[in-house]
Chain A
Amino acid sequence: LAKTTQPISMDSYEGQEVNITCSHNNIATNDYITWYQQFPSQGPRFIIQGYKTKVTNEVASLFIPADRKSSTLSLPRVSLSDTAVYYCLVGDGTDKLIFGTGTRLQVFP
């Protein structure tokens, strides 16, 4: 199983773009990269998923370089409500989905 490494915490201000990078050096050919957001006292919520290059949806973008050994979640113009823990998850196509330690994002006014 590919292990992921993320920064423990990040700080930002409202209106800024936030980029959170996840390292997954042992990613396998079949692995997809998924990011989740978790607010206190709630279960994680899916943000975005990708395999290679760039994926964009209404809330975030996911950048994956050609070697796929890392990925970057980009949150444009964050607000206070984006304060949460963000998890990078790499899956090998099986159901053994293991979360990493996550990145605690604090957004200040």
Chain B
Amino acid sequence: NAGVTQTPKFQVLKTGQSMTLQCAQDMNHNSMYWYRQDPGMGLRLIYYSASEGTTDKGEVPNGYNVSRLNKREFSLRLESAAPSQTSVYFCASSEREEGNYNEQFFGPGTRLTVL
């Protein structure tokens, strides 16, 4: 199993450009997440999806959109990139049982620079 995969690994954008970050998991998990991590800082939740067809805002959703394409895939889109969105983006997935949640599995991250 590959676990959680993310593409691309690195990306440089100019201010105002758009792009989509892709994430896929092969563990049949219902829940998926997008986090961003700025240099030297902790992770901040952007959006999450509790199941296929549902998405919800996290702590810092402004400037982003997401799509839960199917159970495996959860994409993050920047419509008009800004320098403040320079960060490392992590995708994660997990499965909950009986009201609690099991461990989150994280992808390797996408390092995004906006000039």
Give the number of chain B interface residues (Cβ < 8 Å).
31
- Contact yes or no, A43 B56, CB < 8 A: no
B57-89 interface with A by 8 A CB criterion? 58-59, 88
- Contact yes or no, B103 A43, CB < 8 A: no
> Bound complex: CA of A26 vs CA of B100, how far in Å?
17
Size category of the A interface is 20 to 34
Measured between beta carbons, the chain A residues less than 8 angstroms from B48 are 95-97
- Contact yes or no, B106 A101, CB < 8 A: no
Contacting residue for A97 out of B33, B88, B105, B107, CB 8 A: B33
Whether, in the assembled complex, A30 has its beta carbon less than 8 Å from a beta carbon of chain B, the answer is: yes
Measured between beta carbons, the chain B residues less than 8 angstroms from A87 are 42-43
- Contact yes or no, B96 A97, CB < 8 A: no
> Bound complex: CA of A43 vs CA of B25, how far in Å?
14
